[in-house]
Structure 1
């Protein structure tokens, strides 16, 4: 077969692939190419197996970011596929990662998420911009989600995101949406802590929550675990804590006063990080449906021209609240209550392949509004009390040193 014929077949296959997924060929093709970093207005995201292995509903999320944000923001979709032109190695040096990442030998049940944990902070520290997980329906323009405050010289804001209540009346920042300029001191220290957990022979996060750097961190709970009373539906604590080791590293830094360089994590968290409540801004759909992916899927699939029954009313009310009062819808994976089916799992199934954008449904209405509607409300930062119980110790000083 000559080169011309081979290229024609490859092109035809690509066209059929895009048509099958109902994706606009231009944006989807553009997202699969490497783009130079021209400014700090970057959106960073990651799918370890590459764009074509990403579920169609997640691809549509990313495509809609491009539509929503316009040409001033550049969306970068990175991966760790060998020889891929969008491989992380083209943006971040290997010294930022453990051996298992660089050698491609990470294992365990959460390889993709933990590779994402290793990737997100170096990208923000080197280049600035926003990290968003691919499961994000974006409703609000990024300029209005902390970016304008971050670049304002008169504003104390240096880092923005969303906060979730991981213990009663105790909020911490999620890592699925982060926004800052390059060179952020908190971001670099956070990554340094996480990287230090990965020894030369470490290939997964098993036991990370017991590491000497993290063993003093109090246990955290998911919002669903606090409200669902069935003990069989509670996520295994050890599994959840290891999965969320990246959050535990954040908590270590937040509670640290480093005598070596004077960095006060508690002071920084209280005064320089702007946060909005995640359960309102990202996860409003969850308590509305008692964390049931089945009910969420039914709401998305409800037809706009259907009977105005209870389900229609609920879907309609939710859609308009999302347009006006939510920054995004976060469709999450990860460890979960064993009796609950999450929405991402359903949308991964072939029979629900179009449930996130079906014509004439509330899903299509939400997709349309996420691109074309702009919010007028101000995003007001939460007021969180400064944690006075800080540890005076070096960034990577093991806990055992405290008692010497």
Structure 2
């Protein structure tokens, strides 16, 4: 990687260099060794949690580099952990989360289906946040800002009402939903506990996989999910059915239940909490901007990032070069994170995550001289000058449900559904 002086010309408005004194400059191997070593949780809530059920060493190289770069960027004030389910591992989930917080299928290893890894992550993220506090990030996420600047300062500010942070998105028309790949909260958060209680309940009674989750008595009153193509810039409808899409997002649906629920027993008001106490970052600009700019085309993203950046002769800078340059600088300056995912499997024609997973592409995210390598470099060495503002959650005419957290909803007699 070229030094700083040769990269000054690549800085665009909205970007400044981070002093090297604030960057963890240890080798990848040293940081990886730390990530695989048990570290006791202190009284600090500044924990970053991630999970890969088969362990850090089995992660795809580009996701390993994501996490290593979290450590580099965040410095010593945050502790990053990637937990697993590997027997004998120093970072086995059992060392952090008691079995009572996890579904039977997780504890006994009876989960089935194609999405064991993602749904195992769904099972552990909320208890980790509830017990210890911090930020959950999926390992497919690249970080372009410090977590303090993204949301944690807002959560810690006693003058703010915020107790949580997340990424907001509209999946069903007129509804402000929240994704679960980035969640921030201090320990003991009541919303986090209720959300997890719901998810635990839908995985009871011998459930081992996702099929039919949308029909569970706690979720069957909620609308089936689908991704609108207009404001998401999708090229067309998803290539899986809405029921399968909704089942895949069962954890998301448990959030949906809670945000629409007013508990007549303990007075918890989900709509009010969602509107006033969650620092909502707009997902389409703060984590999926790369999708918005490329119409969710993984092959196009791969093409842009694989383009050679180190071209000295201006006459050799093609239209593709300029598109790639604009794309990467926009991401580095104007979005907090970049969340690459693999699913729902089959939903789109191509995912960049799948392409980088392939053995022939294991180093394409750091190939010297490319815009991908520059994006990696910038994620560590550049800081943004813009201020992140929450996206207000508007008052909604959506139906609310006066039920306890674990009480099925039943339409009043005489009401047609």
TM-score normalized by structure 2? 0.88
User: CA–CA distance in 2 between the matches of 1:181 and 1:284?
Assistant: 27
Match status 1:73 vs 2:67: no
Higher relative contact order (CA 8 A, sep 6+): 2
Q: Is the 8 A contact 1:267 1:386 kept in 2?
A: no
Aligned counterpart in structure 1 of residue 334 of structure 2, from 310, 325, 333: 325
For residues 61-100 of structure 1, the aligned pairs below 5 Å read 61-100=66-105
Tell me the equivalent position of 2:356.
Answer: 347
Aligned counterpart in structure 1 of residue 267 of structure 2, from 262, 266, 271: 262
Instruction: Select between 372-381 and 302-311 the one with higher mean Cα deviation.
Output: 302-311
Runs of at least 5 residues in structure 1 that lack an aligned partner in the other structure: 1-22
User: Residues 75 and 229 of structure 1: is their aligned pair in 2 closer, same or farther, counting only changes over 3 Å?
Assistant: closer
User: Residues 37 and 403 of structure 1: is their aligned pair in 2 closer, same or farther, counting only changes over 3 Å?
Assistant: farther
Instruction: Select between 145-154 and 119-128 the one with higher mean Cα deviation.
Output: 145-154
Match status 1:393 vs 2:403: yes
Match status 1:178 vs 2:187: no
Aligned length: 381
Shift of 1:170: 2.3
For residues 5-24 of structure 1, the aligned pairs below 5 Å read 24=28
User: CA–CA distance in 1 between the matches of 2:228 and 2:58?
Assistant: 30
| CA-to-aligned-CA distance 1:249-279 (integer Å, 9 cap, x gap) | 1010000000110000000000000111111
TM-score normalized by structure 1? 0.91
Q: Is the 8 A contact 2:235 2:295 kept in 1?
A: no
Runs of at least 5 residues in structure 2 that lack an aligned partner in the other structure: 1-26
User: CA–CA distance in 1 between the matches of 2:348 and 2:169?
Assistant: 22
Q: Is the 8 A contact 1:255 1:387 kept in 2?
A: no
Tell me the equivalent position of 2:369.
Answer: 360
Tell me the equivalent position of 1:8.
Answer: none
Shift of 1:365: 0.7
User: CA–CA distance in 2 between the matches of 1:228 and 1:134?
Assistant: 24
Aligned counterpart in structure 2 of residue 51 of structure 1, from 46, 56, 61: 56
Tell me the equivalent position of 1:279.
Answer: 284
User: CA–CA distance in 1 between the matches of 2:32 and 2:114?
Assistant: 29
Shift of 1:314: 1.2
3-state SS, counterpart of residue 108 of structure 1: coil
> Cα RMSD between the aligned structures?
1.7
User: CA–CA distance in 1 between the matches of 2:371 and 2:220?
Assistant: 45
Shift of 1:234: 2.9
3-state SS, counterpart of residue 347 of structure 1: helix
Shift of 1:401: 7.3
Aligned counterpart in structure 2 of residue 213 of structure 1, from 210, 218, 227: 218
Q: Is the 8 A contact 2:138 2:182 kept in 1?
A: yes
For residues 204-243 of structure 1, the aligned pairs below 5 Å read 204-222=209-227, 228=234, 233-243=238-248
Tell me the equivalent position of 2:391.
Answer: 382
Shift of 1:218: 1.1
Tell me the equivalent position of 1:313.
Answer: 322
3-state SS, counterpart of residue 359 of structure 1: coil
3-state SS, counterpart of residue 300 of structure 1: helix
Instruction: Select between 318-327 and 254-263 the one with higher mean Cα deviation.
Output: 318-327
User: Residues 174 and 287 of structure 1: is their aligned pair in 2 closer, same or farther, counting only changes over 3 Å?
Assistant: same
3-state SS, counterpart of residue 86 of structure 1: coil
